[in-house]
């Protein structure tokens, strides 16, 4: 069945927004840990950058999903992008003032852009045909590739711009984030019409707690497996990715090589999304989640044993992104298929909350593990997290088989 004209317009606008916003997110991912390390003067604090980014995304996820359920996707996504722009501005100011609290606060606000980025994939599925949910999600996820790959490679140009405007070089890429997020919010507000989410009535109350209370009874069975798979896969990806720039810098890698590694990692996260969305629709989301877990294991083995090899660690980071993509796209498709439309935005918001909290925990623990035991031990621990996911998916599939 052909995609309807309103759905085509929705997906097109969301894809354009992902390209613009992806530039800002990519720049922040590449430079956040280095910025915190520079301000604090300690490698042990570097992991707090990703913790702040993912915790910020978690803090804004449920309020934005509640706003979407009450008022539609357009105001919710616009708010997320504009709050991210404000946070990037605070991070620039923090670099100039050498203020660690201001930097962490700015990165928390920056995380709102990640919440908007994640909720865009669900917005693409709001009006999609059931047989095309995976593909609708994957098209919008794929669109992030362009901006997200460009973003980390702005470290060099960002340093030049920083010199011109009189801020520290590491803050330069954040200036691009300010503009990118502001632009993404403006495009969303002006052009995301019709709103992809039909108004489904008011939530039980106007608070985030009320939204979570409404969502929890619907997170069971296959929906619970989907939430768990997405959260665990995100924790694995964030934990390894967060400390890779610091690990590489410690081995003497140049800043532009680190930026290239992260950009290729992000390409792995998004570039094959349409293929993985098609696979989730064709062979089933559970099988695609299992494929993602297998790729994550391969990624952690390769990265964890890379040593000084920039080529091996880059290859591991590409696979890390690919495994994340398979698991998250398939998990989102499974969740969308198994939850009633009336509460779907709230359940999706809870899933993103769990995802970002898991990522924050992964980033926090990663810094401690690397400081105590090294980068190889971190990858070994991350690989172990795939086992419970595989067990849960296989158990859920077994329970669906007819007895006798």
Q: How many CA atoms does the CB half-sphere of 164 hold within 13 Å?
A: 8
Q: How many helices (H) and strands (E) does the chain have?
A: 16, 0
Mean of per-residue pLDDT scores for the chain: 85
- Write down the pLDDT at residue 401: 54
Q: Is the dihedral of CA 33, 332, 292, 1 positive or negative?
A: negative
Q: Write out pLDDT tens, residues 168-215.
A: 887 888 888 999 999 999 999 999 988 887 644 444 444 555 667 777
Query: What does the pLDDT read at residue 25?
Result: 84
Q: Cα separation of 172 and 336, whole Å?
A: 39
End-to-end CA distance of the chain: 36
Q: Residue 225 and residue 336: Cα distance in Å, rounded?
A: 12
Which regions in the chain score pLDDT beneath 50? 1-3, 199-206, 402-404
- Which pLDDT score, from 0 to 100, does residue 235 have? 94
pLDDT number for residue 277: 92
Q: How far apart are CA 106 and CA 94, in angstroms?
A: 8
pLDDT given at position 81: 97
b/e 363-378 (16+ beta carbons within 10 angstroms → b): bbbbbebbeeeebbeb
Closest CA to 46 of 258, 303, 293, 299: 258
Q: What is the pLDDT of residue 349?
A: 86
pTM across the whole model: 0.77
Between CA 261 and CA 312 the distance in angstroms is 10
Show the domains of the chain with their CATH numbers.
Answer: 5-194+208-400 (1.20.1250.20)
Q: Closest by alpha carbon to 113, among 193, 232, 234, 18?
A: 18
What is the DSSP secondary structure assignment for residue 198, as one 8-state letter? -
Q: What pLDDT score does 43 carry?
A: 65
Give residue 203's pLDDT.
41
Q: For 290-344, what is each residue's pLDDT tens digit?
A: 999 999 999 999 999 988 888 899 999 999 999 999 999 999 999 988 888 778 8
Residues 23-46, buried b or exposed e (16+ Cβ, 10 A)? bbbbbbbbbbbbbbbbbbeebebb
Residue 340, classified by CB atoms within 10 Å of its CB into exposed (0-12), middle (13-18) or buried (19+), is exposed
CA–chain centroid gap for 278, Å, is 20
């Amino acid at each position: 069945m052909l995609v309807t004209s309103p759905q085509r317009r929705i997906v097109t606008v969301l894809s354009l927004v992902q390209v613009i916003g992806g530039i800002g997110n990519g720049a922040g991912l590449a430079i956040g840990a280095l910025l915190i390390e520079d301000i604090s003067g300690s490698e042990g604090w570097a992991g707090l950058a990703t913790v702040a980014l993912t915790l910020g995304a978690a803090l804004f996820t449920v309020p934005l999903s509640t706003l979407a359920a009450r008022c539609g996707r357009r105001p919710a996504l616009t708010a997320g992008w504009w709050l991210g722009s404000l946070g990037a501005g605070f991070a620039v100011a923090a670099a100039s003032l050498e203020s660690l609290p201001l930097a962490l606060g700015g990165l928390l606000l920056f995380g709102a852009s990640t919440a908007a980025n994640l909720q865009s994939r669900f917005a693409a599925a709001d009006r999609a045909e059931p047989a095309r949910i995976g593909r609708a999600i994957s098209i919008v996820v794929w669109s992030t590739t362009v901006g997200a790959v460009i973003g980390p490679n702005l470290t060099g140009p960002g340093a030049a711009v920083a010199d011109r405007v009189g801020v520290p070089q590491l803050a330069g890429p954040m200036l691009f984030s300010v503009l990118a997020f502001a632009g993404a919010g403006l495009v969303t507000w002006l052009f995301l019409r019709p709103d992809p989410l039909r108004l489904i009535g008011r939530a039980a109350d106007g608070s985030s707690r009320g939204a979570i209370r409404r969502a929890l009874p619907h997170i069971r069975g296959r929906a619970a497996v989907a939430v768990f798979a997405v959260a665990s896969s995100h924790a694995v990806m964030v934990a390894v990715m967060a400390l890779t720039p610091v690990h590489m810098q410690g081995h003497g890698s140049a800043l532009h090589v680190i930026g290239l590694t992260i950009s290729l990692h992000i390409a792995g996260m998004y570039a094959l999304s349409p293929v993985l969305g098609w696979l989730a629709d064709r062979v089933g989301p559970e099988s695609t989640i299992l494929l993602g877990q297998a790729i994550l294991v391969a990624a952690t083995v390769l990265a964890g044993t890379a040593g000084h090899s920039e080529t091996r660690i880059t290859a591991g980071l590409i696979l890390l992104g690919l495994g994340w993509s398979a698991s998250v796209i398939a998990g989102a498709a499974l969740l969308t298929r198994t939850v009633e439309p009336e509460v779907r935005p709230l359940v999706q918001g809870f899933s993103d909350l769990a995802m970002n909290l898991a990522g924050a925990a992964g980033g926090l623990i990663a810094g401690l593990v690397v400081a105590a035991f090294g980068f190889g031990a971190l990858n070994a621990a991350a690989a172990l997290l795939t086992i419970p996911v595989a067990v849960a998916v296989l158990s859920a599939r077994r329970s669906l088989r007819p007895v006798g």
